[in-house]
Amino acid sequence: HSLRRATSASQQSITCRNLSSSSTPHRKVAVLGAAGGIGQPLSLLMKLNPLVSQLSLYDIAGTPGVAADVSHINTRSEVMGYVGEDQLAQALEGCDIVIIPAGVPRKPGMTRDDLFNINAGIVKGLCTAIAKYCPNALVNMISNPVNSTVPIASEVFKKAGTYDEKRLFGVTTLDVVRAKTFYAGKANVNVAEVNVPVVGGHAGITILPLFSQATPQANNLSDEVLTALTKRTQDGGTEVVEAKAGKGSATLSMAYAGALFADACMKGLNGVPDVVECSFVQSSITELPFFVSKVRLGKNGVEEVLGLGALSDYEKQGLEALLPELKSSIEKGIKFANQS
């Protein structure tokens, strides 16, 4: 049997004693695609998170090794590795959060939409299993094209009768991470204090950073600099794809961003107040059914989808320009889920 129980019985009993004496709730988190470029560092970062009590690492290959490796780290969670479809049910049962970085990454010259043909099917299969084995879990979708994979997930869940719009998230935290880094560099402010909302979607011009709302405010940035910052944020993924020259896309910064977002979801579930992150969620703040904006996270997932706030003229133009592309990516996902 290829199922790997990665913690020994003695370690497990220690884990259980620690858990029962702790007031931190039990939280099972699964990473689907855990042996991949994102999956491995993300598994590491989730193992370091004290809010996680059970870490379930699933992939079609390679997870026993990743789970054995990560399980030796002396932190709270019990780590289990699952490999192959016949172990997917066990990987998912009882999950509070399922993070999905499964699927192929871009190579130079490709758009995220070029990944659709392969990743749409992968996401559909995994979401079908989520609907069956952990219908109440919060789903953090990382697999690209996010603008289409999130609508695919919603349709799969609707068909299964398990859809809850509060529990489905497209992970766009990396756009925020990039916008913060690039802004801090130009504004000459402490990057640790920077906040920048990034709205819209997660591909090219659909990524719309709102530097007019960035804090701390920098009044010294010219229109040219703001345009360059916007463009760099929109092309951040491509910058990494080109630098990796055929060896994939962002993995380490994505693992960091994915771990931040999952941590925010867990804090929300645990009742921590005022947890706000940008995410691609079901939304009525524009005419599109899904949109990235700030979202308040709570005990049931999305507590409130926050509006866009005041936009500069440049940002208003960016918003108008992104709507058609985002609309067609959403429709493509919905159509795929209902056709196949």
The torsion angles phi and psi of 293, rounded to 5 degrees, stand at -155, 180
Helix axes 63-71, 39-47, angle to 10 degrees: 30
106 is in an annotated binding site: yes
120 binds ligand NAD (CB under 6 A): no
241 binds ligand LMR (CB under 6 A): yes
DSSP one-letter string for 82-93: EESGGGHHHHHT
Judged by CB under 6 A, the chain residues 245 through 284 that form the site for ligand NAD are 248-251, 254
Q: Would you say 145 and 230 are in contact if contact means Cβ atoms under 8 Å apart?
A: no
Closest CA to 179 of 223, 143, 220, 215: 215
Q: Would you say 75 and 114 are in contact if contact means Cβ atoms under 8 Å apart?
A: no
- From ligand LMR, ligand NAD, none, which one binds at residue 55 (CB under 5 to 8 Å depending on kind)? none
CA 261 from chain centre, in angstroms, equals: 6
Judged by CB under 6 A, the chain residues 166 through 195 that form the site for ligand LMR are 174
- From ligand NAD, ligand LMR, none, which one binds at residue 332 (CB under 5 to 8 Å depending on kind)? none
144 binds ligand LMR (CB under 6 A): yes
Q: Which residue has the tokens 């952990």?
A: 134
229 binds ligand NAD (CB under 6 A): no
Closest CA to 140 of 68, 42, 271: 42
Instruction: For residue 33, give the DSSP letter.
Output: T
278 binds ligand LMR (CB under 6 A): no
* Cα–Cα dist 211/221, whole Å: 10
Judge whether 202 counts as a catalytic residue: yes
205 is in an annotated binding site: no
* Beta carbon nearer to ligand NAD, 35 or 46: 35
**Which residues in this chain contact ligand LMR in the complex, by CB under 6 A?**
105-106, 112, 144, 174, 236-237, 240-241, 249-250
Binding residue numbers for NAD(+): 33-39, 59, 119, 142-144, 254
Positions touching ligand NAD (CB under 6 A) are 32-33, 35-39, 59-61, 101-106, 115, 119, 122, 125-126, 142-144, 146, 171, 174, 202, 248-251, 254
Active-site amino acid positions: 202
